Every structure is written in structure tokens, then in C-alpha cells.
Amino acid sequence: MSEAVVIAVDAERSVSGLLDRPADPRACLVLAHGAGAGMDHPFMASIADGLIGEGIATLRYNFPYMEAKSRRPDRPPLATATVRAAAIEAGKRLPGLPLLAGGKSFGGRMTSTAQAEAPLPGVHGLVFLGFPLHPPGKPSDERAAHLDDVAVPMLFLQGTRDTFAELDLLKPLCRRLGIMATLHLFEDGDHSFHVRKASGRTDAEVRAEMIATIAAWIDGIL
């Protein structure tokens, strides 16, 4: 069962969170949602459920715009403040436990932006579930400029059909980041990690690989 939590962003705003933890967790992933769906989306829930089986806790949370049922994502200053507040809350609820942070698409980019601005307390690495390098049809790597200022390891999980990250831009980016970046590709996966029937795989199999990859990477950096 997920434990409902309240995360204070500032004196005026708070957001909802869901803490999922196994009996004896070895780490916690602070996990932000994508631009179009909140923390309770089935994709987010499946990642949290799978990581419990790997002995890893998760703290999912909403951004303020999602709490307000708005379709327009928060501006970066508010979004990054929310990321920081969630990391601090995770540290309070799971004292002494190594933290990782990241998220799906927009949530991952706002997490890396926050980390680039100032290290997130207790966070040892970042996990991107589909990094949104650019809008579809507008290839560019400008959104990744801040990653040079991230001083913790980063795991990029990316589908090869993801229109938000052309591979001829993403692969050189990860090479440039050197030992700080690990890129794991999912053949035929789109931005939601959906694979077509012709791929010979199911979405559930892809998610299982994602979960195993995250767990192994966490063990490696810790």
C-alpha cells in the first residue's frame, strides 16, 4: 500500500506524494511525473511497484499545476523548488537512506535542472525515464546544456522511437558527459516506452527491463 504524504513546497503551497517502501529498503528514488499525467498514472505506479520488488523505495509526488488540475506545467523556478522539497521530504522520512532522484520526461528534466542549480540533499544520482531533449520535430540539444553542471551520475532510459530525443543528438550528448552518463536504449520504444507488436516484446517486458536496469545501476553507483 502507498503511504500518502504531504510535501511543503513553500509557505503557501504543498503537494501530494505517495511513498512506497519495501520492508528493508537499500535506497529511495524520488520520482517526478511527466507533463501530461500525475504521480498516480499507471506507468508511474508500475515503476514504483517493480522497484519495491528490487528493495528500492520510491517517493512519487505531484507538481503544483497537477494538484490544481491545470494542463499548463509550472514554470521552472516553481517546478525545481518542488523537486527540492520532495528530496528533502524523502530524507526526513527515510533518514540515512541513499537517495536517487529523477522522473518521467518533464519531471526528469526539472530534476536535473534543480540538481544543476544546487545539489539536491542526499541525492547520489539521477534517473531519466525518457529525457525530453527537444520537442517532436524540432531537434536540438539546448535543453541539455545544464547537464554539464550536474555532478552526480545520470542514467538515461530511452526508447529508440522517442520523438522527444533524436538518437543522433542523444548519443553524442551522453558521450560528451563521459562517465557521468549511462545510456540504456529500448528497441522500438516510444516516449512512453510503448513497443509495437512487431517488436516481439510487450510493454510489461520493457517495464521489467527498466526496473532491473534502474536497480542494477543504483547498486553500481552506491
Instruction: Write out the residue range of the structural domain in which residue 180 sits.
Output: 3-221
- For residues 176 and 92, give the distance between their C-alpha atoms in angstroms, rounded to a whole number: 35
pLDDT above 90 (res 148): yes
pLDDT, tens digit, 9 for 90 and up, residues 206-219: 999 999 999 999 99
| pTM for this model (two decimals) | 0.95
Task: Work out how many domains the chain is built from and give that number.
Answer: 1
Average pLDDT, integer, range 121-150:
96
Helix (H) or strand (E) holding 143: none
Render pLDDT for 33-46 as a digit per residue (tens, 0 to 9).
Answer: 999 899 999 999 99
Residue 9 CA to residue 16 CA, distance in Å, equals 10
d(CA 145, CA 117): 12
CATH code at 181?
3.40.50.1820
With beta carbons less than 8 A apart as the criterion, state whether 144 and 168 touch.
Answer: no
Of 214, 215, 90, 80, nearest to 149 by C-alpha is: 80
| CA nearest neighbour of 39 among 81, 80, 1, 67 | 67
